[in-house]
Amino acid sequence: MLSQRFLLLVVIALAPLAARLPAAVGQEQPAVARAAKKPALKPGQIDLEKSRIYVRVGKKGLGHEHGVEGKIKSGTIDLNAGKNAGEIEFDMASFLADTDEARKYVELKGTTGESTRDKVTETMLGAAVLDVEQFPTATFKIKSRELKKTKTAADTIVLKGDFTLHGQSQPLTVEAQIEKKDGQSHLRGEFTILQSDFGMTPYKAALGTVGVADELKIWGDLWIAEKADGKK
């Protein structure tokens, strides 16, 4: 009898606490849901999660070719504007050398070990090449946009403007194919630059017998919102 009374007292004492627990959990869930929800994209805004930049670095002498991938920090492209169509800001510190995805995209065979990838990335981001501490971003300010209609599924868009890298600017023209899918425009274009045009010295070692080429081939794989997410 005493044990039954004791259990009854315990249940009565814990009942108010148990009643409060669902309410506390219920109050936290909306905050968690809000944190996990992806912010809606405005028309013309670049989808930073899906968009990437890829670079193929050629070799010189006994050097090796490299594939590099990086992220966009911010950007918008007004696909309907003829002039001043937007700006793209590149997150230079995000660039990684010889990831499997990068090597596949730039059509390089084989894979690279983790220690080698880390060493190449460290050199690339360091003061001798990109110097991301001093120049953490690069930009492409788009002065004009031209759309070329084609008979194929994808039209061609021509973007002209100023590309700033390593603190120096040069005029740049990019031709990209554009396709519409799932409320976004998918742009895939490529261009080439010389490192020396932007004040950078191509990496070399072993008295110049091992190094990389001055020319870089760069691809942009961008997804741009045509309308705010979730709107039909």
- CATH number, domain of 177, equals 2.40.128.110
Q: Are residues 109 and 198 in the same domain?
A: yes
Strand partners, 148: 156
Is residue 24 domain-resident? Answer: yes
179 and 212 housed in the same domain? yes
Low-confidence ranges of the chain (pLDDT < 50): 2, 6-7, 9-11, 22-26, 229-232
Shared domain check, 204 and 109: yes
Domain that holds residue 174: 52-225
Nearest CA-CA partner of 193 in 224, 221, 162, 222? 162
Is 63 in the same domain as 140?
yes
DSSP of 157-188, one letter per residue?
Answer: EEEEEEEEETTEEEEEEEEEEEEEETTEEEEE
Q: Which residue has the tokens 């930009």?
A: 139
Answer for the pair 127, 138: CB distance below 8 angstroms, yes or no. no
Together in a domain, 21 and 110: no
123 part of a folded domain: yes
Whether 232 is in a domain gets the answer no
- Say if residue 56 is in the same domain as residue 33: no
* pLDDT computed for residue 39 by the predictor: 75
pLDDT tens digits along 149-193: 777 667 899 999 999 999 999 999 999 999 988 889 999 999 999
Cβ partners under 8 Å of residue 61, min gap 6: 204, 208, 209, 210, 211
Do 1 and 102 belong together in one domain?
no
Q: Enumerate residues 6+ apart whose C-beta is below 8 A from 204.
A: 60, 61, 63, 210, 211, 212
Q: Which one-letter amino acid corresponds to residue 160?
A: K
Query: What is the structure's pLDDT at 31?
Result: 52
- Asked if the structure places residue 132 within a domain, the reply is yes
In a domain, 42, yes or no: no
Same domain? For 139 and 216 the reply is yes
83-98, pLDDT tens digit by residue?
999 999 999 999 999 9
Count of domains forming the chain: 2
CB 172 within 8 A of CB 164: no
Task: Answer yes or no: do 27 and 4 share one domain.
Answer: yes
Q: Are residues 27 and 59 in the same domain?
A: no
- Would 44 be classed as within a structural domain? no
Q: What is the pLDDT, as a whole number, of residue 230?
A: 45
How far is 22 from 174, CA to CA, in rounded Å?
56
Q: Are 137 and 211 in a shared domain? A: yes
Consecutive H or E run containing 55: strand 52-61
* pLDDT value, residue 27: 52
Residues 16 and 91 occupy one common structural domain: no
Query: Quick one: pLDDT at residue 15?
Result: 53
